[in-house]
Amino acid sequence: MTDSSRPVIAYILKGYPRISETFISNEILMLEQLGFNMRLFSMRKPRENFSHASVKKIRARVDYLPTELLLELPRLLVPNIFLASKEPRRYRQALMLAGARFRRTGKIATIKHLLQAGYMTNNFLLHEPEIRHLHGHFAHSPTSVTMFGAILSGLPFSFTAHAKDIYTSNPEQLREKMDEARFVVTCTRHNAEYLRSIAPDSATPIHCVYHGIDLELFNHPEQKPVPTEPYRLFTVARLTEKKGLPTIYRALAHLKSRGVSFQHVLIGDGDDREKILGLIHTLGLDDQCHWLGTKTHDEVLARFKESDLFVLGCEIADNGDRDGIPNVLVESLAMGVPAISTTVSAIPEILKNRETGLTVPPSDPDAMAEAIMTLLEDRQLREHIINTGNTWVAEQFDNRFWIERLAEIFRAEPHIG
């Protein structure tokens, strides 16, 4: 087949592009490089005014769905009315499912997702017959739009489940999506086990496909000198509850009280910004801890190269949200920077304690402080962890391997392959 005649896979995304979701843009780009034609539909426009360089290489067309239910109701309603008249049976089926889901949760977002799917189907899917498959990235709202779009268009669909979208979703709603999908992809074995536990009788295949990283971009530099004071500590994280940043700062306050000299850099932003910056001030860490906001890959790489240690305090948030495997942990090991995090969720799949990193219980500043000093002062353990961590990433987290695995899953679908 020529490139233009290949079936198109449409990705439905929460937002595009997003600085914090580089793994998605890398996935799209690498699928294109493997010969797939891609089409993108985003539920939100980008929040940042810059993007990583890899995004500029993506050829796929992107269209943005109306976002605000009330403000953009006419834009949503008109195409849905047209679609209901053209495809009354399919629209009735989607409407009945939306009604059942709304009665189950009482969330008005269900109606918005139906209308967004109708907008996408009427305005694009019915006019682009080359689109043969829909794929939602994140199991909550993007997959809701994807599922409704599949019903309205008659196209098959699949989805990728990550972290928050799994553990904060209504299990019955999630099970329903799994039953309807051709297959499900998720990024950790821990996630796969959880998904199978809530849908043990579902025949839908669940595939574990790690995100992986670009090992040409993140690579082990020359051997670093032995750390000396002031130690250089580094964290990259969204400023949200599940990242456990207060645990890190309380651990750093312990170290300061013991007379340890250090400088800590935080890259990232989020809803808890003022809370985190206030905690830094309250703990008397203004001179030691520096928040840089959101930065590009190049700037993150530069910080990795000059850091002695990477620290992340992941925990389970009150609403059940938690990380899977934060990509920054994989990047840290690839860069030869030993990492410390917690035993939450799938983190032990990347940080095998005292082998590829150190793990401590969540919300335990004392244990975190001791782990930090151990990896700074125990030269033999530090060297062992740097070497085994780097090898582990090279063997298990090369994104080219995993995207090729994802490509095989797509190609196994008869309407794609």
pLDDT digits (tens, 9 = 90+) for 3-18: 556 899 999 999 998 8
Q: Are strands 206-208 and 157-161 parallel, antiparallel or unpaired?
A: unpaired
165: left (phi over 0), alpha (psi -120 to 50) or beta: alpha
Rg over alpha carbons for the chain, rounded to the nearest Å, is 23
235, pLDDT greater than 50:
yes
Predicted confidence band at 347 (pLDDT cuts at 50, 70, 90)? Answer: very high
pLDDT reported for residue 52: 65
48, pLDDT greater than 70:
no
Of 37-51, 113-127, 184-198, 310-324, the least confident:
37-51
53, pLDDT greater than 90:
no
| pTM, 2 dp | 0.91
Tell me the β-bridge partners of 185. 160, 207
User: CB neighbours (10 Å) of residue 66?
Assistant: 19
Where does residue 385 rank: exposed (0-12), middle (13-18), buried (19+ CB within 10 A)?
buried
Q: CA 14, CA 161: separation in Å to the nearest integer?
A: 12
Judge contact between 326 and 211, C-beta under 8 A.
Answer: no
Q: Residue by residue, what is the 3-state secondary structure of the chain? A: CCHHHCCEEEEEECCCCCHHHHHHHHHHHHHHHCCCEEEEEECCCCCCCCCCHHHHHCCCEEEECCCCCCCCHHHHHHHHHHHHHHCHHHHHHHHHHHHHHHHHHCCCHHHHHHHHHHHHHHHCHHHCCCEEEEEEECCCHHHHHHHHHHHHHCCCEEEEECCHHHHCCCHHHHHHHHHHCCCEEECCHHHHHHHHHHCCCCCCCEEECCCCECCCCCCCCCCCCCCCCCEEEEEECCCCHHHCHHHHHHHHHHHHHCCCCEEEEEECCCCCHHHHHHHHHHCCCCCCEEEEECCCHHHHHHHHHCCCEEECCCCCCCCCCCCCCCHHHHHHHHCCCCEEEECCCCHHHCCCECCCEEEECCCCHHHHHHHHHHHHHCHHHHHHHHHHHHHHHHHHCEHHHHHHHHHHHHHCCCCCC
- pLDDT above 70 as % of the chain: 97
- The answer to whether 3-212+398-411 and 231-396 have equal CATH topology is yes
Judge contact between 341 and 404, C-beta under 8 A.
Answer: no
367-379 confidence digits (pLDDT tens): 999 999 999 999 9
305-342 confidence digits (pLDDT tens): 999 999 999 999 999 999 999 999 999 999 999 999 99
Domain extent listing, the chain: 3-212+398-411, 231-396
Instruction: Return the axis-axis angle of helices 245-257 and 365-377, rounded to nearest 10°.
Output: 60
19, pLDDT greater than 80:
no
Fold category of 3-212+398-411 in CATH: Rossmann fold (3.40.50)
User: CB neighbours (10 Å) of residue 321?
Assistant: 17
The closest alpha carbon to 307, from 343, 267, 278, 277, belongs to 267
61-99 confidence digits (pLDDT tens): 999 999 999 899 999 999 999 999 999 999 999 999 999
Q: CA 173, CA 118: separation in Å to the nearest integer?
A: 20
Q: Give me the half-sphere count of Cα atoms (radius 13 Å) on the Cβ side of residue 286.
A: 4
Pair of tokens at residue 405? 């695995």
Predicted confidence band at 49 (pLDDT cuts at 50, 70, 90)? Answer: low
Q: Select from 3.20.20.70, 3.40.50.2000, 3.40.50.620, 3.40.50.720 the CATH code of 231-396.
A: 3.40.50.2000
Site of tokens 């990242």: 243
